[in-house]
Amino acid sequence: MPLQLRLPSLLIATPSLMDPSFQKSVLLMTQHNNDGAAGLILNRPLPANLRDGAFQKRYQIPSHVPVWLGGPVGTHQGLVLHNQGGDAKATVQHGDLRLSVSEEAIDGLIHQVEKEREEGRDRGDILYPFRFIIGSAGWGPKQLETELKAGAWIQKPFDEKLVFDTPWQEIWTKALEDFGIQPMDIAPTQQTYLN
């Protein structure tokens, strides 16, 4: 019987995972079944704000809204991750966690960014109850199970405080520390199974 990951849950890249797409990443797992798995990287802000005119037009999001890279797949699609509850049109709902492209989520995202700008906060100091994420991560059948068995990832139950109340620069380190792992104590290795 194949391994079934709890959903939602978090996947923490171990220090030995050297794939640049996932190095030092924490992912929110949103799907896992016999066809494969899918999730979103949570700690990868893009250096530029939302400049793609298609995104702005489709979602009505101002260009100064920060954008996060959820993974290398489907980077022409975006959604809002938030923990503000409500949002009955969200595609994923678990407690207050929501993944959505609803008008309510988009409005909340814009309002939060405007509030932070008015308060003069620097992007690096902001906690994000709303994130606009483009792209996702995906695995084929049994691919993620193979990577888990090889030690590339550690699974952790969904932790709202880690996701929403921890500065993005600290999420990966804090997630590993929850398991008693000090990242600098583990040497990177080559993984031939991650191509």
Which pLDDT belongs to residue 120? 72
Tell me: pLDDT of 75 over 80: yes
Which pLDDT belongs to residue 114? 85
Which pLDDT belongs to residue 136? 96
Structure tokens given for 31: 């799907």
Does 188 or 80 have the greater pLDDT score? 80
Q: Among 108, 82, 87, which Cα is nearest to 97's?
A: 82
pLDDT per residue as tens digits for the range 131-143: 999 999 999 999 9
Tell me: pLDDT of 6 over 50: yes
Write the CATH number of the domain with boundaries 9-185: 3.40.1740.10
pLDDT per residue as tens digits for the range 88-105: 899 888 888 999 989 899
From residue 185, how far is each of 21, 28, 146 by CA, in Å? 22, 25, 24
Q: Among 37, 75, 44, 76, which Cα is nearest to 58's?
A: 76
Q: Tell me the torsion sign for CA atoms 122, 124, 128, 131.
A: positive
How many angstroms separate the CA atoms of 58 and 147, rounded? Answer: 36
Tell me: pLDDT of 11 over 50: yes
Does 195 or 22 have the greater pLDDT score? 22
Which pLDDT belongs to residue 180? 87
Pairing of strands 67-69, 153-157: unpaired
End-to-end, the C-alpha distance of the chain in Å comes to 25
67 and 50 Cβ atoms separated by less than 8 Å: yes
**DSSP 8-state class, residue 180:** T
Q: Among 30, 35, 8, 132, which Cα is nearest to 77's?
A: 132
Q: What's the chain's average pLDDT?
A: 84
Q: Locate the domains of the chain by residue range.
A: 9-185
* Collapsed DSSP state (helix, strand, coil) of residue 71: coil
Place of tokens 């405007």: 114
pTM: 0.85
Percent of the chain with pLDDT over 90: 48
pLDDT per residue as tens digits for the range 41-65: 999 998 866 666 666 677 777 777 8
> Radius of gyration over alpha carbons of the chain, in Å?
17
Is residue 170 left, alpha or beta, with left meaning phi > 0 and alpha meaning psi from -120 to 50? alpha
Q: Tell me the torsion sign for CA atoms 97, 25, 14, 1.
A: positive
